[in-house]
């Protein structure tokens, strides 16, 4: 069995590579960055890179890039690929998923794969715990975090759990071919995450609530307007409303999902 792991620089891909290597499972890393060590050039938006990346491959761990997905599917079928594991998003389950910048690309890739002859497994994580890294810069600068919806809930999931889930569906045929909504073990507000992070770092982390308009103005130039609007809409919808937690991580990995506290402990150095 030979596995292509796309998005070689991504946190989930890096974790999966380590797990495959530890088990002696043959794999190939694909990356759009030509200088990624030990990787083949595989730009998911560049179909010319697909034949070389897919030669001799039977399974693929795929990041969701819609621009080249039709060509990728065609080349994967030609190359004899049998199974694709897609890192999608739970946002595709929303009623307006096809119109949202948060989900449209993931949904388009899901649809292209499920309409193809390729056996497809859909991993649909909720909120990445690593989104909290966005707080590192203001923390290092000594400024309070500015949040439009500090009471908005999410389901932060550790990237290590996503990598282990991917390993499970890539190596156990009984788990392949399904769809899994992956969450952390707790529904937490942003305020609660900040409190946990502060406990791990051993200091109080100040934050202040700002209006949606203030936040959007502050991230202008960093987050495209439509994407910022979609984030604000989602946070407003979960403000004061806990999100649903699933047991999919434990189903696939055999252990409970790692907590946000564990993620914070694992990444405390990012905030030093």
Task: Give the pLDDT of residue 272.
Answer: 85
pLDDT digits (tens, 9 = 90+) for 72-89: 999 999 999 999 999 999
Residue 1 pLDDT level (bands cut at 50, 70, 90)? low
Structure tokens at 113: 């794969």
Angle between helical axes of 159-171 and 11-22 (0-180°, round to 10): 50
Q: Please, what is the average pLDDT of the chain?
A: 96
pLDDT digits (tens, 9 = 90+) for 190-222: 999 999 999 999 999 999 999 999 999 999 988
Check: CB of residue 167 under 8 Å from CB of residue 173: no
Q: Distance (Å, rounded) from C-alpha 258 to C-alpha 244?
A: 16
Phi/psi of residue 124, nearest 5 degrees: -120, 80
Residue 38 pLDDT level (bands cut at 50, 70, 90)? confident
**CA separation, residue 71 to residues 50, 60, 76 (Å):** 8, 15, 8
pLDDT digits (tens, 9 = 90+) for 41-66: 999 999 999 999 999 999 999 999 99
Check: CB of residue 252 under 8 Å from CB of residue 175: yes
The closest of 223, 261, 15 to 134, measured between CA atoms, is: 223
Q: Distance (Å, rounded) from C-alpha 4 to C-alpha 264?
A: 30
Structure tokens at 123: 């991993």
In this prediction the pTM is: 0.96
Integer Rg of the chain from CA: 19
Q: Distance (Å, rounded) from C-alpha 269 to C-alpha 128?
A: 18
Burial 251-267 (b: 16+ CB within 10 A, else e): ebbeeebbbbbbbbeeb
> What proportion of the chain, given as a percentage, has pLDDT over 70?
100
């Amino acid at each position: 069995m030979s596995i292509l792991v796309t998005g070689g620089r991504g946190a989930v891909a890096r974790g999966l590579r380590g797990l495959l290597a530890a088990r002696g499972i043959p794999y190939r890393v694909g990356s759009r960055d030509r200088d990624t060590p030990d990787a083949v050039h595989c730009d998911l938006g560049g179909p010319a890179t697909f034949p070389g990346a897919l030669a001799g491959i039977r399974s693929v761990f795929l990041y969701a890039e819609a621009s080249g997905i039709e060509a990728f599917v065609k080349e994967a079928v030609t190359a004899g690929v049998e199974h694709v594991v897609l890192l999608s998003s739970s946002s595709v389950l929303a009623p307006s998923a096809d119109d949202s910048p948060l989900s449209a690309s993931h949904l388009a890739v899901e649809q292209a794969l499920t309409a193809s002859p390729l056996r497809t497994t859909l991993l649909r994580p909720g909120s990445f715990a690593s989104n909290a890294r966005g707080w590192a810069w203001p923390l290092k600068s000594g400024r309070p975090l500015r949040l439009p919806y500090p009471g908005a809930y999410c389901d932060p999931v550790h990237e290590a759990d996503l990598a282990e889930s991917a390993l499970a569906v890539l190596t156990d045929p009984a788990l392949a071919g399904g769809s899994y909504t992956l969450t952390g073990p707790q529904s937490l507000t942003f305020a609660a995450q900040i409190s946990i992070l502060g406990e791990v770092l051993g200091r109080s982390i100040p934050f202040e609530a700002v209006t949606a308009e203030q936040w959007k103005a502050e991230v202008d130039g960093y987050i495209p307007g439509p994407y910022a609007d979609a984030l604000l809409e989602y946070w407003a919808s979960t403000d004061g409303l806990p999100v649903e937690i699933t047991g999919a991580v434990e189903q696939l990995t055999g252990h409970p999902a790692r907590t946000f506290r564990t993620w914070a402990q694992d990444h405390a150095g990012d905030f030093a």
